[in-house]
Structure formats: structure tokens, C-alpha cells
Chains A and B, each alone.
Chain A
Amino acid sequence: MRKSLIMLGLLSALAHPAHAADATQQQLDDLGARIKALEANAQQLREQAAAALAAAQAAKDELDKMKATQANAAVAAVSAPEQSTTSPAGANGNAFNPAISVIMNGLYAYHSKDPDSFARAGFPGGSEPIPRGISLGESEVSLAANIDDKFYGQLTLSYADQGDSAHTSIEEAYIDTMTLPAGLTLRAGRFFSDIGYLNSHHAHTDNFVDRPLVYQALLGDQYGDDGVQLHWLAPTDFYLSLGGELFRGQNYPTAGAGHQGVGAKSAFVHAGGDVGDENSWLGGVSVLKFATRNGSDGFSGDETLYVADGTWKWAPQGNTKDGGVTVRSEFMLDHRDGVVDTLSPAAPPPLVDPFSLAAIELAEPWAGTRRGMYIEGIYRINRSWDTGYRFDRLWAAGSGPYASAFDPLRHSVMLTWRNSEFSLLRLQYSHDELNPNQTDNALYLQYQVSLGAHGAHKF
């Protein structure tokens, strides 16, 4: 190109040597050609530079890719495989077995007075005292699992000696909904009422060998029955839950499944939260209403039980299993309006001569109020040891067939050693003033273990 242009220039110069204008034109053409040549050169250089740049970029990309692969390999090596291989358990029906947990406990009890002769002033009925000597406490087996995407189910069977007979019973058998909106949960079946604090807790989570007196006397350790429960957890920053229950009304303290089999109803509200990292609290008020026919303490009529409960836990750094203090108290007020069958075996002896005319009227009208409370403090020394004190008090009615001028009280101290989360040994001493003439000093030694599925306990 360049050569031919120069040749062209030479030829034209030779062809018109005489004309000055021709020479100028020649120079112009020459310059134009040189500019074109330079432009072409620059373009070529640009193309070469771009190619070099592209090559550099490619090399850099390759290097990055190599680096990334190396890093990704380290990540991929620890990532779970996309599709996990079928486990052998998946091949048989047992893979869907519910979580099984077993609670066992055994006791040795020394009583200074014969428990068979116990008569708690003003509070007939209630649960039976722990028998003298060596005995097997309540053993329970619990099965729990998600039923499907909407329901959870739990069955707890318990085996216990009652007096001279032994029997297996369905302690709890209920289903819970899991997918109701707005914090609602519905429960149906047989279960322990959510009133108060201890009532819904299984005895194996207690801090003492036996339940507080007020639970023994007014709820027969704990009130459970066939029923339904609606529970609502408020969408608040602190814990606030409200609920209500309807029960058949068959079990102590009620009986007779009144109101056509809906003899008991309850309502409760609980609130709780934290104060810093080291303190937690939970408190609530509950009410339980019964329509009772021929209760085991001889009562027929309406009963309303009010419960107030409070728990405070403090633990260094919030590690409650390694140290700290728990204080808990519950107060109950039991109001009754009805009649007491004075010939009932559990009822106090008739106030009138049974053979007189008045005694034909066996049912004595009674409207009155009884109260009770306990307060306990537990000091967790470390992971293995804790110790605690509990004060129990009952206030009998001032008039009526259960009337008593004496208000029973009890002091208990305990020491617990835990080998692990699954086993414990407990020593407890109780000084129990049952009535003006009867004071029992009791010493208990208890073991308690849990086998199988790891339990997740309520606060």
C-alpha cells in the first residue's frame, strides 16, 4: 500500500515536472498518504494492545478460578452431601417410632408416726403419704412424637401402688395442634391442667421428694382429667400466655363428671421474662371451678380454686445448672359451697349422733374457704449438688364440717446429688405438724433416673 502510493507520487512528479501547481498538489497528496499510513499504524498498535489486554484478562480469570476452586474445595469437603444416602433405619418401620422415655424412682422412708394414722386437721382427702420403709415410687413410660404435619401426640403411662393395690393408669394422653395461627394451641385428651406452676409439671422435675402440702390436700398432688385446652401466647416482647380449659370433672378434687360430663373449667394467665442475663421470672394467676358430686372427701357442690404462683431464678451468667438460687411460692384459696356427706369415709366424724333424727339428714350444708401456701428456696451449689428448704402452711376452715382451730404446717430440707442429667439421689427431712396431737418427723432417701429420649423440660 505504502509502496504503491510512493510509486504513484513519483510517477505523477515525472509526468508533470514543469508545473509549480502540480508540485504543490504532489506535496499535498504525499502528506495525505503519510497521514493515512500513520493512522493505519496506530490502528494496528491499538489492536495489538487490545489483544494483549484480553490475554492478560484471560490469564487473570484462570488464576481466580483456580484460587476459587481451591477455596471451594475446602468448603465442599466439609459440606453435607446433597443427597444423603438412605440410612438402614429408613428401611424398616421402626424409624418412625416415637421418642420413648422412662422415669423410675425408689424410696426409703422413715416416719416417726404411722402414715396410715395421718389425719390432717381441716383437710381430709388429698393424696396419700409416702409409706414407711422401702417402696417403689411412681414409674412412668412416656411416648411422644409428631403425628403428622399438624398434630403432636404424647402418651404417659404410670404404674403406682395405691394402698394395698397396684395399678397402671393413663396419666396423660393428649394431642396438640402445631399449626394454628396467631400463637394459638389447642390440646385435647387427658392432661394435667396448666393452673399454677407445679400442677402441669411431672413430679420427676420437682425439687423435693413429695409435693407441697397445698397440692397434696387441695389437688391430690396434681389435677389432671379428660379435657380440652385452648392456649394463646401473646406476640409481646415479654412472655404472656393466656388459656382456658374444660374438663370432664371426674378426678380429685372433683368427682361425678357434673354438668353432663363437663364438670370443671379453668382459666389462667402467666407472664415472665428476664432481668439482665442472670435473672428470670415467671408468675401467674389461675382459677379452677368444679361442680362436684360425691367427692372422695364427702363434698358435693360448687368449688372454686384460685392459685397465684411466682418463680424467680438467679444464676451467675445465667448458667442455672451450675449455680444460683431459685425461689418459688404458690398460694391457693379454695372456696366451697355445697353439702358434706358426714358418713363419707374421708369426712370428719359426724357432729351429731348418727342415730338421732337429725342424722337422717346426712348431708350437712357448708360454705367456707380454706387456704394454703408453700415457699421454697433452692441453692444450686454446682452441676452435681443442690440443697433447698420448703415451708408449707395450710389454713383450715373456721366453721362447718371441716372446721379446725389448728392450721397444719411443715418444714422440709433436702440435699440432692446428680451424677448426670439422667440420675439423682435425694435426701430429705420433713417436720410435719398434722394436727394438735400428731407431729411426724420423716426422713426420705430417693433415687430417680430417666432412661431413653433426652427430655426437654419446661422452665
Chain B
Amino acid sequence: MNKLLFAFLALAFCAAPAHALNVFACEPEWGALTQELTGDKVTVDVATTALQDVHQIEAKPSLIAKMRRADLVVCSGAELEIGWLPQLIKQSGNPHVGSGPGYFMAATQITTLEKPTQLDRAAGDVHPEGNPHFQLDPNRVLAIANALDARLIELDAANAATYKARLADFTTRWQAAIKRWEAKAAPLKGKKVIVHHMSWVYLEQWLGIEQVGALEPKPGIPPTSAHLSTLIDIAKSQGVFAILRAAYQDPKPGDWLAERTGVPALTLPFTVGGDDKAKDLFGLFDSTIDKLLGAIK
């Protein structure tokens, strides 16, 4: 028994943090953004992968252990993680991340789209605080970067100079990239798409793409064959150029519609790690725009 206790204590003290801050990022895009702003000053734990549906994660033991050591939680918010994040924070017993400076929700730093005027679960899985899939609007990403940097400085003033310098560097590179992307994506303006889930509204708004249908009859409700067949006409008559889905989404419904309409189904990375090119935030946008452009040739 004493030996066992000793082993526990030894483990407890070995796991001391190697960096100034431990950051728990719910999604890969916020993990990547934190990395851009901090370099080697913090340890980043990313809770999910690009191949996982972040609406549906479970409060796994491994995530509780990661939450236990977090100084800062960086998540999308807007109830995207409501099924698991509150449980993780509660079970971790970590007093620093439940609220206050240690709790950073990207959604509260920006304006969101699609805020429902009426809350009713009959409308599917609606988010009262608006659509939480805003990582594909580079201007919002930059606004979040500004707010996140301020938060990092608040929590770790000793490295403030690094965080400031890295934000300035990131901003320069990001703004140059936005120009490049906007110029490159100009041919997409006014083009029409059908989407799997309402994951693309921010990208569409940024690039002027028009959405004419969704495979899910209501947000979060799996596609049904009856609903899919109503999209065949829309896809054909409206001149839809692509059916968009994220890397984690089931390819079957999109492929089904693609087969019947000849409109290509595109698997976009959606977040960092969603395909081979999306290694960081810049790669994510490069790959997304290249894939979209590839479909209009």
C-alpha cells in the first residue's frame, strides 16, 4: 500500500509543467492559432482531431486529465462543445478554467451569423449564440487572434514581449495571405453550393459563394433519402458547382447526390489537419480555396 502511494506521489510530481502555460484547445484551429501566437512558450493540448465531429465528443478520461493541468481553455464556444466541455471542466476540479481569464471562448470575441430569433429544438440542433463554425473567415480569425493574444499577456505577463511580437508577425503574414486568397478566389464569387451541415456560412459570406441547399434537413439531423431527393432538382436547375462536406462528415449522402446530379462532392479540410496540405492555418485556407477552384474548372 505504501509503495502504491509512493508511486502515485512520484507520478504526481513528475508531471510538472514544462512551459509557462498549459493551453487546452477544443479544436485544432485554435490549437494552431495558439501555436502561432506563442511559439515554444506554452504547451498546447488539442482535444479533437479534424476527423472528429466536435458536436459529439465524449468527456473522455484522457481529456479530463488534460483539463486538470490547463491554465487556459481556448474553444469555439456558442454551445458547440456543450455536450462535453462543461463536464470536463467540472470533473477536472480545475478552479482556473471554469470562468474568468482561463476560459476563452472565441465566439464571444466576434460577431456570429445565424443567431436564431426563435429557440425550438423542433428546428434541429440550434445554437442560441449563432453558428459556431467561424474558423473559415480569416478576418474573424484575426479578430480572435487579437483577443487571444491579450488574454495570453494577461495570464503570462513575463512573456508579453514575445506574444506581442508574434501577433505583429502573424498579423502581417495573415493580412498578406488574406489579399492573396481574396484575389485567387475571385472566380468563386456568385457560385452556388449545396452543403452537408451548416458549417460553411462564414466562408461563403467571405468569398461571396451562395448556398442553395443542405444535405441535413435540419442542423444535426442526419440526411434522409426523402430529403436528398428534393435536392436533385435544386442541384441541376440552379447550376450548383459543388457539394461541400467537412473531412469528418459521412461521405455517403454527398456521394449519393453527386452520382445523381454530376455535381462533384468536395471534401474540404474544415480545420487544421483535415487534409495533407492543411498543416497550419495558412495551409487550411490554401487547401480550401484550391479545392474549391478545382471544382469550377
The A-contacting residues of B in range 1-36, CB under 8 angstroms, are: 8, 11-12, 15
A74 nearest CB neighbor, chain B only: B139
For A366, list chain B residues within 8 Å (CB). none
Flag B255-272 by CB within 8 Å of A: 1 or 0 each.
000000000000000000
Smallest CB–CB gap between B285 and chain A, Å?
Answer: 15
Q: Does B165 contact A (CB under 8 A)?
A: no
Q: Does A457 contact B (CB under 8 A)?
A: yes
The B-contacting residues of A in range 233-284, CB under 8 angstroms, are: 233-240, 242, 270-274, 277, 280-282
Q: Are A273's CB and B87's CB within 8 A?
A: no
Q: Are A185's CB and B93's CB within 8 A?
A: yes
Q: Does B282 contact A (CB under 8 A)?
A: no
Q: Bound complex: CA of A184 vs CA of B95, how far in Å?
A: 10
Q: Bound complex: CA of A459 vs CA of B62, how far in Å?
A: 10
Q: Bound complex: CA of A421 vs CA of B250, how far in Å?
A: 18
Q: Does B142 contact A (CB under 8 A)?
A: yes
Q: Are A459's CB and B79's CB within 8 A?
A: no
Q: Does A456 contact B (CB under 8 A)?
A: yes
Q: Are B82's CB and A236's CB within 8 A?
A: no
Flag B136-163 by CB within 8 Å of A: 1 or 0 each.
0101101100110000000000000000
**Contact size class for B?**
35 or more
Q: Does A359 contact B (CB under 8 A)?
A: no
The A-contacting residues of B in range 43-67, CB under 8 angstroms, are: 49, 51-53, 56, 58-62, 64-65
Q: Does B38 contact A (CB under 8 A)?
A: no
Q: Does A44 contact B (CB under 8 A)?
A: no
Q: Bound complex: CA of A422 vs CA of B125, how far in Å?
A: 10
Smallest CB–CB gap between B138 and chain A, Å?
Answer: 9
The B-contacting residues of A in range 75-90, CB under 8 angstroms, are: 75-80
For B51, list chain A residues within 8 Å (CB). 277, 317-319
- Report the tally of A-B residue pairs with Cβ distances under 8 A: 148
Q: Which of these, A183, A238, A240, A281, contacts B8 with CB under 8 Å?
A: A240
For A272, list chain B residues within 8 Å (CB). 60-62, 64
B82 nearest CB neighbor, chain A only: A454
Number of A residues contacting the other chain (C-beta, 8 Å)? Answer: 56
Q: Bound complex: CA of A282 vs CA of B63, how far in Å?
A: 12
Q: Does B196 contact A (CB under 8 A)?
A: no
Given contacts A80-B110, A180-B95, A454-B79, whether A236 and B11 have CB atoms under 8 Å apart is yes
Q: Are A280's CB and B82's CB within 8 A?
A: no
Given contacts A75-B146, A235-B12, A273-B61, whether A178 and B95 have CB atoms under 8 Å apart is yes
For A172, list chain B residues within 8 Å (CB). none
Q: Are B56's CB and A322's CB within 8 A?
A: yes
> Would you mind naming 11 contact pairs between A and B with Cβ atoms under 8 Å apart?
A76-B143, A80-B110, A183-B94, A233-B92, A235-B15, A237-B65, A238-B65, A272-B62, A273-B62, A277-B52, A457-B87
Closest 4 pairs (CB-CB, A-B): A272-B61, A239-B61, A456-B87, A179-B95
- Beyond the given pairs A237-B65, A280-B58, 13 more chain A to chain B contacts, judged by CB atoms under 8 angstroms and listed by A's residue number, are A78-B110, A78-B143, A79-B146, A234-B12, A235-B68, A236-B15, A238-B62, A238-B65, A280-B62, A318-B51, A319-B53, A420-B124, A458-B87
